[in-house]
Amino acid sequence: GAPKREDYCLILSIVFIFVTGVKCKSDVSLNGRTVIVTGKAYFSSLSLSLCANTGIGKETALDMARRGARVVLACRSKDRAEAAVLDIRRKTSNNQVVFMHLDLASLKSVRAFAETFLKSEPQLHILINNAGVGLVGKTEDGFSMGVGVNHFGHFLLTNLLLERLKQCVPSRVVVLASETYRMVGLDFSKLSRTEPGHTNGFLDYAHSKLCNVLFARELSNRLEGTNVTCYSVHPGEHSITWLMLILVPVAALLFRDPEGGAQTSIHCAVQEGIERFSGRYFSDCRVREVVAHARDDAVARKLWEFSERMVGLSAD
């Protein structure tokens, strides 16, 4: 017969659970701590349907500000970022929220950001590599856009800030990855400066996210014993993709909750006791096993050395 009221209730409950998801439980204060969040500075009005979680960076920054941190929004768009700064200050009454210009599609800009930051900010406790794009096109340095912004830009940024992180232990690096990392294998020829017009936006994005997972792994290996730890994160819900495809468009209309998308980033930034999972991959605020090619230490090291050459941290 026709669906009953109970059926609607059941569907709504399921939708609610999947959309609201888990919440970071830690109530750690970040008074006196400095946090950098790259990327997202505003909520897109087009963040319905499959992008219900969009705006993770801003939501993360808001949470860090609520905990009393000094928060640096490292973004490319001054206008949007300054609007976000004002919004976060207003919502949290924390005036220690500032904008600093960073365009991850330019290694020169990354170097300029790091120089300005290191000169003006004595401390850094949490670096959140959040910005992410999946666009066709090239960066200023000739990398395909996804890999250039999501991996190489953040790779250089993290390296330039590493000494400061080591001086401020315990400190952390959180790397936004994505489940799409599973869809590709590592192909060094695709990571090089490629010929114009040969990039596929989606595969490039997936590739960059695999680099993010391997980067966090190798970074953690290199940081052993320093008390700087790092984590890669899938910000959305885990292993229910098919269900999300059906439910999210409905759910996004009913319960828009961009806060939910930021919970795993927040968890990895502040939760006590997860240090032993440094280098691992998290989703739904829990550590997850990654597929074999994303936990190969030899590949992770090779990617690191290759990236050092690509961004000019070591001789070509």
Ligand X SMILES: NC(=O)c1ccc[n+]([C@@H]2O[C@H](COP(=O)([O-])OP(=O)(O)OC[C@H]3O[C@@H](n4cnc5c(N)ncnc54)[C@H](OP(=O)(O)O)[C@@H]3O)[C@@H](O)[C@H]2O)c1
Residues of this chain that bind ligand X (CB under 6 A): 38-41, 44, 51, 53-57, 75-77, 80, 102-105, 130-133, 149, 176, 178, 234-236, 261
- Minimal distance in Å, beta carbon 178 to ligand X? 3
- Two tokens, residue 9: 């209730």
Given ligand X, ligand NAG, none, residue 105, with its beta carbon under 5 to 8 Å by kind, binds: ligand X
Comparing CA positions, the residue from 170, 161, 90, 152 lying closest to residue 127 is 161
The residue type of 36 is I
Residue of 8, 42, 205, 281 with catalytic role: 205
Neighbours of 296 (CB within 10 A): 16
Q: How many chain residues touch ligand NAG (CB under 6 A)?
A: 3
Given ligand X, ligand NAG, none, residue 236, with its beta carbon under 5 to 8 Å by kind, binds: ligand X
Given ligand X, ligand NAG, none, residue 226, with its beta carbon under 5 to 8 Å by kind, binds: ligand NAG
Which C-beta is closer to ligand NAG: that of 50 or that of 169? 169
Q: How far is CA 20 from CA 113, 242, 261, in A?
A: 35, 17, 9
Which C-beta is closer to ligand X: that of 82 or that of 121? 82
204 within 8 A of 134, measured Cβ to Cβ: yes
113 within 8 A of 147, measured Cβ to Cβ: no
Residue 80: CA count within 13 A, CB half-sphere: 15
Which C-beta is closer to ligand NAG: that of 65 or that of 223? 223
15 within 8 A of 254, measured Cβ to Cβ: yes
Which C-beta is closer to ligand X: that of 46 or that of 315? 46
Residue whose entry in the numeric block shows the structure tokens 């993010």: 212
Cite the DSSP H helix spans in the chain: 5-20, 56-66, 78-92, 107-120, 145-146, 154-167, 188-191, 201-222, 241-254, 258-270, 297-310
Given ligand X, ligand NAG, none, residue 227, with its beta carbon under 5 to 8 Å by kind, binds: ligand NAG
- Minimal distance in Å, beta carbon 145 to ligand X? 8
Residues 164-203 that bind ligand NAG (CB under 6 A): 169
- Minimal distance in Å, beta carbon 106 to ligand X? 7
- Separation CA 61–CA 24 (nearest Å): 14
> Is 256 in a helix, a strand, or coil?
coil
- Separation CA 211–CA 218 (nearest Å): 10
The site string for ligand NAG over 223-262 (x = CB under 6 A, - otherwise) reads ---xx-----------------------------------
Which C-beta is closer to ligand NAG: that of 42 or that of 277? 277
Is 42 in the active site? no
- Minimal distance in Å, beta carbon 169 to ligand NAG? 5
Which C-beta is closer to ligand X: that of 148 or that of 279? 148
Pairing of strands 70-75, 171-176: unpaired
Given ligand X, ligand NAG, none, residue 41, with its beta carbon under 5 to 8 Å by kind, binds: ligand X
Residues with catalytic function: 205
- Report the interface residues with ligand NAG, using CB under 6 A: 169, 226-227
